[in-house]
Structure 1
């Protein structure tokens, strides 16, 4: 089991301990007033954990406290892991970023693009170019999510049972064929729209590697990084470590436990291996993943990617070098769009002043549906993690608050 522990005093790596304590002081209020059940926060600099804290309960109904070994649903923090897997195959010469997706998933060969009309009878035109692997990596493919509720194609997804997940019993291969049969929101490569694209990447990993996505992750990513608690479901023996999933209570500002399909989905092996949001694991495991990234693809002698590949992934790949504000469709999250671009699996800060964020150009990050978040600031050599289980992530401004509270504590 990966261990997460404080490795240095804050002042030894340039933090003011009293200012760093503001992180906990602020987020304790989220628990104490009932907005969140509990959380874990980890902050590192120069590869050493300078701050680690837990507060509140992982499962309110069971009275179980958040602990070092609590298992969290990563949701979209799965996406960077899948993106790394794709780039590992790219480094081996097994695929090219410019490859049409149809080379691996034939149903993508005849894509059509929405131009007008209602979801029940949309007008479409042929795609002017195929959806390519790099379109999937930077969300410029034209695919979407049913839960956006901002475009007729989103409604088409929902009508087919693709909102938060896929229809029951559908596997990854069948889901990709279903998405390929639906119109794209825009011509590939012209805009940015958060989507099921990373799930499609997961299927490409399966086709190219000849292994199921869970097997590839286990052998090629988790074992080398010693991420022993990360998988697509919590094993039966570990269910007493799995955090409960909550949504806001509109009545009193607190939270309500989700006992539905999403709430119990992480308790058994899924049919659908979602490379865009299916993994669960511990803060310690995800910390090891972030340290591999900040070290340029290597950790404890195990190299997953070359440093130039990581640098390439964490630069802006949006059309024309623009930011998300200029070319992105809005998403229901608290992530900033002005001054922020998108790389191959991560958001990337282009202009900290423009984004109104206390951070550095080149910071890369992402978060998950249940209000989890991470970021890596390569200029300050800081990584920060926040884990809780409240969906949706747009409920509270946790990500920008985390960044501000951590960065303001730097004094060297």
Structure 2
């Protein structure tokens, strides 16, 4: 081993054991964990391997992401890779600001966009575990505002008409995006796009209370019959409002008490406090999506009591925080000796729940994925744009964040970046780099 390799190995070992404490700055993060919940072990491995990863190949991650920053995909990023509950690679690359004057800090705060969805889905399944609701419950049990929904029926060569739904929307539908709701930017007709935007359903034009949002949503036809089509949508925002009504708590308080504080996710929230704003990562000002998305997210305004908390899109977090959440799921629902979900429930969430339906999540995941309860779920070894294992779970956010949980390989990978227009490019690149660094597989070759 040469001097450079030895220096890198020493720095990485020190960084892994202390990174979570260092990342917290004003409020110390909880420590990293192994799968059993113990404190992290020093990096161990034979020769140039650490937990089956090649140290030399892990070093490729920085150079590849530096090239991505140079080409303008994002100013910088923070990445984390863990295997068997041990962090094997975690580093900050590039710059925090669009002007490239400040190095990216390890504790940078990133807008999560749709990586909020898995957190909301876990919170909902915790209530299911407690018997407070069931997946086959109609959501109108708690949301009477949606009792009179119609469905926009579109038939080639015939006029569009609004018809009655074939069955109620179930809790299950919200978790797997089969309720018939949409996002305005993926509306199948101009009429639905205009109704969603005109009624400010996604709160992108300004604050709207939860009760008012549901009242307005109840006047807009569904795009599909419930339970027939996967259509990525505001379903998880509605799920967040359902969690509020079932739990009797505002969503921010419920998350804080049940998930964020117990998991040590101290920088994960819908509102960035003034003292933390110096840690916000920026997206390129040249990215055409940056300005309109920033106006819609409003993370510098505490909208508690003024607007609904967007369970599908609104949170911010750090690599260290999201790594703890992901590791909990990779562990089968437990972290640091505290159980959040039963292992069979995690298995259930990471199974394909859209079998036999139209639509798929390929715009986010690439081909070869179905959808579980809050995640894209890989269906087979082939067909994907990047390596993985059947049953691996992943999701991503419109700002440029993404994660992968591959339980067959004991793997968790986190990419935190802010680059909306290049987000698919960077998430696939990151997955290729992570799997490409894995010299030893836990899976038996077939």
Select the residue among 176, 187, 197 that pairs with 1:158: 197
Note the C-alpha offset of 1:77: 0.4
Does 1:78 find its partner at 2:116?
yes
Does 1:339 find its partner at 2:368?
yes
Query: In structure 1, what is the equivalent of residue 405 of structure 2?
Result: 376
Q: Is the 8 A contact 2:74 2:283 kept in 1?
A: no
Query: In structure 2, what is the equivalent of residue 296 of structure 1?
Result: 332
Q: What is the total number of aligned residue pairs between the two structures? A: 396
SS of 2:395 mapped into structure 1: strand
SS of 2:134 mapped into structure 1: coil
For 1:8 and 1:218, the matched residues in 2 are separated by 32
Note the C-alpha offset of 1:134: 0.3
User: Does the C-alpha gap of structure 1 residues 375 and 396 become closer, same or farther in structure 2, counting only changes over 3 Å?
Assistant: closer
For 1:349 and 1:113, the matched residues in 2 are separated by 31
SS of 1:305 mapped into structure 2: coil
Note the C-alpha offset of 1:88: 0.5
Note the C-alpha offset of 1:243: 1.7
Which digits, 9 at most, give the CA deviation of each residue in 1:38-95, with x for residues without a partner?
A: 1011111101110111112222348332112111111110000000000000000000
Query: In structure 2, what is the equivalent of residue 307 of structure 1?
Result: 343
SS of 2:105 mapped into structure 1: coil
Which digits, 9 at most, give the CA deviation of each residue in 1:193-231, with x for residues without a partner?
A: 000000111111110111000000000001110111111
For 1:129 and 1:297, the matched residues in 2 are separated by 32
For 1:54 and 1:298, the matched residues in 2 are separated by 27
For 1:204 and 1:214, the matched residues in 2 are separated by 13
TM-score (norm 1): 0.90
Which digits, 9 at most, give the CA deviation of each residue in 1:164-198, with x for residues without a partner?
A: x4442302232223222211111000010000000
For 2:195 and 2:110, the matched residues in 1 are separated by 31
User: Does the C-alpha gap of structure 1 residues 145 and 259 become closer, same or farther in structure 2, counting only changes over 3 Å?
Assistant: closer
For 2:135 and 2:187, the matched residues in 1 are separated by 30
Query: In structure 2, what is the equivalent of residue 176 of structure 1?
Result: 214
Q: Is the 8 A contact 1:352 1:360 kept in 2?
A: yes
Query: In structure 1, what is the equivalent of residue 359 of structure 2?
Result: 328
For 2:391 and 2:372, the matched residues in 1 are separated by 10
Does 1:360 find its partner at 2:389?
yes
User: Does the C-alpha gap of structure 1 residues 283 and 395 become closer, same or farther in structure 2, counting only changes over 3 Å?
Assistant: closer
TM-score (norm 2): 0.83
Which digits, 9 at most, give the CA deviation of each residue in 1:139-187, with x for residues without a partner?
A: 0111000122543323431233346x44423022322232222111110
Q: Is the 8 A contact 1:142 1:187 kept in 2?
A: yes
Query: In structure 1, what is the equivalent of residue 72 of structure 2?
Result: 34
User: Does the C-alpha gap of structure 1 residues 311 and 339 become closer, same or farther in structure 2, counting only changes over 3 Å?
Assistant: same
User: Does the C-alpha gap of structure 1 residues 292 and 156 become closer, same or farther in structure 2, counting only changes over 3 Å?
Assistant: same
User: Does the C-alpha gap of structure 1 residues 36 and 109 become closer, same or farther in structure 2, counting only changes over 3 Å?
Assistant: same
Which digits, 9 at most, give the CA deviation of each residue in 1:319-365, with x for residues without a partner?
A: 33x6xxxx21677x4521x3211000000000120224311101001
SS of 1:398 mapped into structure 2: helix
Structure 2 unaligned regions, length at least 5: 1-27, 33-39, 441-446
Q: Is the 8 A contact 1:108 1:131 kept in 2?
A: no
Alignment of 1:13-412 (within 5 A): 13-61=51-99, 63-116=101-154, 123-148=161-186, 150-152=188-190, 153-162=192-201, 165-246=203-284, 248-249=286-287, 261-262=295-296, 265-270=298-303, 271-320=307-356, 327-328=358-359, 333-336=363-366, 338-392=367-421, 395-412=423-440
Q: Is the 8 A contact 1:142 1:186 kept in 2?
A: yes
Which digits, 9 at most, give the CA deviation of each residue in 1:78-121, with x for residues without a partner?
A: 0000000000000000001001010111112122111139xxx9
User: Does the C-alpha gap of structure 1 residues 374 and 330 become closer, same or farther in structure 2, counting only changes over 3 Å?
Assistant: closer
User: Does the C-alpha gap of structure 1 residues 347 and 249 become closer, same or farther in structure 2, counting only changes over 3 Å?
Assistant: closer
